[in-house]
Amino acid sequence: MTTTPAGWSEADLAAVRRLKALGRSVDQHFVGRRLALDLLEVAVIAHEHVLLLGPPGTGKTDLVSRFAAGLGGRPFVRLLTRFTEPAELFGPVDVPAFQTEGRYRVRTEGMLPTAHVAFLDEIFQSGSPILNTLLTVMNERVFHHGHEAEPVPLITLVGAANSLPQDPSLLAFADRFLLRLTVPPVAASRLEELLAKGSALARGGPAGGDGHEWIDPASLDRLGRQLAHADLSGVAGEYAELVRELVGQGVTLSDRRIIRGLRLVAAAALRAERVRAEAADLWPLAHFWSDPAHAPVVQEAVRRRTGDPGEQPDEPVRRVRRLLSEARVLSRQVERGSPPAAVERTLRQLNALRLELMRVVPGEQEAARELASIIDTTLALLDQG
How many helices and strands in the chain, by DSSP H and E?
15, 7
Alpha carbons 280 and 259: distance in angstroms, whole number: 19
Using 50, 70 and 90 to split pLDDT, how confident is the model at 313?
Answer: very low
pLDDT tens digits, one per residue of 45-64: 999 999 999 888 888 888 99
For the range 96-102, what are the long-range contacts, defined as Cβ-Cβ under 8 Å and sequence gap of 24 or more? none
What three-state secondary structure class fits 335?
A: coil
In degrees and rounded to multiples of 5, residue 177 shows phi and psi of -90, 105
The DSSP code for 121 is E
Contact of 365 with 383, CB cutoff 8 Å: no
pLDDT value of residue 180:
94
Distance CA 250, CA 245 (A): 9
Q: What is the pLDDT of residue 127?
A: 86
Residue with the bigger pLDDT between 360 and 241: it is: 241
Label residue 147 by pLDDT band (50, 70, 90).
confident
Looking at residues 347-372, what average pLDDT do you find? 82
- 282, 42, 370, 8 alpha-carbon torsion, rounded to 10°: 80
User: Average of pLDDT values for 71-96?
Assistant: 87
Per-residue pLDDT band for 37 (boundaries 50, 70, 90) equals very high
Other CB atoms within 10 Å distance of the CB of residue 27: 22
With residue 254 as reference, give the H or E element that holds it.
none
pLDDT at 278: 93
In this predicted structure, the answer to whether residue 176 has a pLDDT above a threshold of 50 is yes
**C-alpha to C-alpha distance for 385 and 381, rounded to whole angstroms:** 6
- The answer to whether the CB of 70 falls within 8 A of the CB of 220 is no
CA pair distance 143, 148, nearest whole angstrom: 8
The whole-number average pLDDT for the span 234-250 is 93
Is residue 316's pLDDT more than 80? no
Confidence of residue 98 (pLDDT cuts 50, 70, 90): low
Q: Give the pLDDT score at 156.
A: 94
The pairing of beta strand 76-79 with beta strand 148-151 = unpaired
d(CA 301, CA 227): 24
Residue 287 has pLDDT above 90, yes or no: yes
- What integer pLDDT is reported at residue 6 of this predicted model? 52
Q: Where in the chain is the domain with CATH 3.40.50.300?
A: 11-194+209-217
pLDDT of residue 3: 43
| The CA-based dihedral angle spanning residues 116, 119, 124, 127, taken in that order and rounded to the nearest 10 degrees | -60
Using CA atoms, how far residue 323 sits from 12, 21, 171, 263, 327, in Å, is 17, 10, 41, 26, 6
Q: Which amino acid is at 246?
A: L
Mean pLDDT score, 300-320: 69
Lowest mean pLDDT segment, chosen from 2-16, 48-62, 200-214: 200-214
Give per-residue pLDDT as tens, 181-201.
Answer: 988 887 655 666 666 666 555
pLDDT at 114: 93
Q: What is the CATH number of domain 11-194+209-217?
A: 3.40.50.300
Q: What is the mean pLDDT of residues 231-248?
A: 94
* Confidence (pTM): 0.77
110: left (phi over 0), alpha (psi -120 to 50) or beta: left
Q: Is a pLDDT exceeding 50 seen at residue 5?
A: no
| Mean pLDDT (whole number) for 346-364 | 80
